Amino acid sequence: MNRVWKQFPASESIAQRLALWSSHSEFGFCFRGDGWGAKNGNDCKVLAGAGMFSTYSGALNTASDFIDHANDYVFSSLGYDLKNSLEKLSSENALSIEIDALVLCIPKIVVFEKDKEISIGIRSEILPEITHSEVLQQIESVETFDITQKVSTPHFKWTREQFVTKIKEAKKYIQLGEIYQANICQEVIWSEAQIDPASLFNLGFESNPNPFSVYVRLQDKHILSWSPERFLSFDDRKVLSQPMKGTAPRGVTKQEDELHKKELAQSEKDRRENVMIVDMVRNDLSHFAEKNSVKVPELYKIDTYPSVYQMHSTVISTLRPKVPQFDVLLKAFPMGSMTGAPKIRAMQIIDNLETSSRGIFSGTIGLFTPDGKADFNVVIRTLIYDRNKQLLSAHVGGGITALSDEESEYEECLVKLEPIQKLLYEIEK
């Protein structure tokens, strides 16, 4: 790695400015939230990169070599349909917004804020003409766009009745014993949308500061993810996964709020759903783990967010020596919390029942660092924007078990979508 670093005092608005700054390059990433790196000793508040020095477009089986030889920050996104290259699967559903299934890229400039300091790292052999002070000036002087924008009425790909029918069909597969659980999602579309993606991302983070939020620009495509869920985290050979299954809305009053939390904690349906995914993650991690190292230190933990309660569990393991982290990522992909169990049959059924390709939704976005660490989220609570098409897309769904109530599942989808709906409604005022 040939990256030259310099530190400067950080302004109070640096996190918002870094998202805007990263959006001014054709390729940019901005990671925000207190989850990123929290389990492996990295407590920076925001990390961004812009201008891609190198991107990977080769085969999956050589991607690990690209990451290892980089010895640098590698920003990554894996779309859900990458599964078709990992297993004998196919997808016939239409994709509203096309984003490459695999993106691996090394940024020309990396910036992060930690302990009230901003650190700027430049690939000096690629950008000899720019100084660290000039990069800082670009960040501090970046324009804050007018958040007043135009968004149409949302179009749900399924009506309520159609959604209920899909859930009933999924439950038939469960009753036949083909699967134990399936995650069924539908797409929501806003056409003729005119937004500033980075400004909207910042506004959404202010109201929902979820721990694994990330903004990504890939030329004319933009990803605005306010994800609460970690997929995999690596600290050298230590691996951690935190599958999230089980959602309840926040209450209006304190008493109602506590009741919703208690009901989620005691919900047999949600606990069954959660433990099924935990067992799948344990199996996924065991393929590359040292013997007896796969453990479950947390089960059925309830986390509090501005609009919902979520149930999550934690699975850890230790990798065998010389196992590439990216290989572990692929073995566990797609994450069980977004597929079902058994995973392959569940994914076949999902493709049969759903009518939209998921694209980046249900995939993962994250980064590898030069010191042997990596962290990846689950792409949920996410908007995808195609500036050329003026199209906004979101997916929403939930895990279905034999105990699922169709109407309750539909209402849970609305609860998950509400923060995004509210955000888009607010900018229309």
Domains and CATH numbers, the chain: 3-428 (3.60.120.10)
Predicted confidence (pLDDT) at residue 50 exceeds the cutoff of 90: yes
Predicted confidence (pLDDT) at residue 55 exceeds the cutoff of 60: yes
Cα(74)–Cα(367) distance, rounded to whole angstroms? 6
From 44, 36, 40, 39, select the one nearest 15 (Cα to Cα): 44
Query: Given this model, what pLDDT does residue 45 score?
Result: 76
Predicted confidence (pLDDT) at residue 429 exceeds the cutoff of 60: no
Comparing 63-67, 146-150, 245-249, the range with the smallest average pLDDT is 146-150
The tens digit of pLDDT for each residue in 395-420 reads 999 989 998 999 999 999 998 999 99
Contact indicator for 259, 251 with CB cutoff of 8 Å = yes
Structure tokens at 123: 């690939």
Beta-carbon count within 10 A of 426 CB: 12
Predicted confidence (pLDDT) at residue 427 exceeds the cutoff of 80: no
Structure tokens at 58: 């080769």
Predicted confidence (pLDDT) at residue 146 exceeds the cutoff of 70: no
Cα(241)–Cα(286) distance, rounded to whole angstroms? 12
From 17, 419, 381, 27, select the one nearest 224 (Cα to Cα): 381
Computed over every residue of the chain, the mean pLDDT equals: 92
Predicted confidence (pLDDT) at residue 151 exceeds the cutoff of 90: no
Query: Given this model, what pLDDT does residue 216 score?
Result: 97
Predicted confidence (pLDDT) at residue 42 exceeds the cutoff of 70: no
Query: Given this model, what pLDDT does residue 53 score?
Result: 82
Predicted confidence (pLDDT) at residue 225 exceeds the cutoff of 80: yes
The tens digit of pLDDT for each residue in 118-127 reads 999 999 888 9
Beta-carbon count within 10 A of 324 CB: 15
More confident residue, 155 or 146: 155
Full DSSP string of 278-293:
HHHHHHHHHTTBPTT-
- With the C-alpha atoms ordered 41, 383, 186, 104, is the resulting torsion angle positive or negative? negative
Cα(297)–Cα(37) distance, rounded to whole angstroms? 18
Query: Given this model, what pLDDT does residue 306 score?
Result: 84
Predicted confidence (pLDDT) at residue 129 exceeds the cutoff of 60: yes
From 301, 332, 323, 311, select the one nearest 231 (Cα to Cα): 332
Instruction: Give the three-class secondary structure for 143.
Output: coil
Query: Given this model, what pLDDT does residue 149 score?
Result: 72
Predicted confidence (pLDDT) at residue 81 exceeds the cutoff of 60: yes
Query: Given this model, what pLDDT does residue 357 score?
Result: 96
Cα(167)–Cα(183) distance, rounded to whole angstroms? 10
Q: Which residues are catalytic?
A: 229, 245
Element (H, E) at 424: helix 406-428
> Where residue 58 falls among pLDDT bands split at 50, 70, 90?
confident
Angle at which helices 406-428 and 160-175 cross, to 10°: 140
Contact indicator for 330, 86 with CB cutoff of 8 Å = yes
More confident residue, 351 or 114: 351
Cα(109)–Cα(271) distance, rounded to whole angstroms? 44
Residue 171 carries which DSSP code?
A: H
Query: Given this model, what pLDDT does residue 86 score?
Result: 94
Region 101-126 average pLDDT:
93
Contact indicator for 101, 78 with CB cutoff of 8 Å = yes
Region 48-53 average pLDDT:
90
Comparing 170-174, 187-191, 250-254, the range with the smallest average pLDDT is 250-254
Cα(266)–Cα(142) distance, rounded to whole angstroms? 48
Query: Given this model, what pLDDT does residue 185 score?
Result: 96
Query: Given this model, what pLDDT does residue 12 score?
Result: 86
Region 274-301 average pLDDT:
95
> Where residue 428 falls among pLDDT bands split at 50, 70, 90?
low
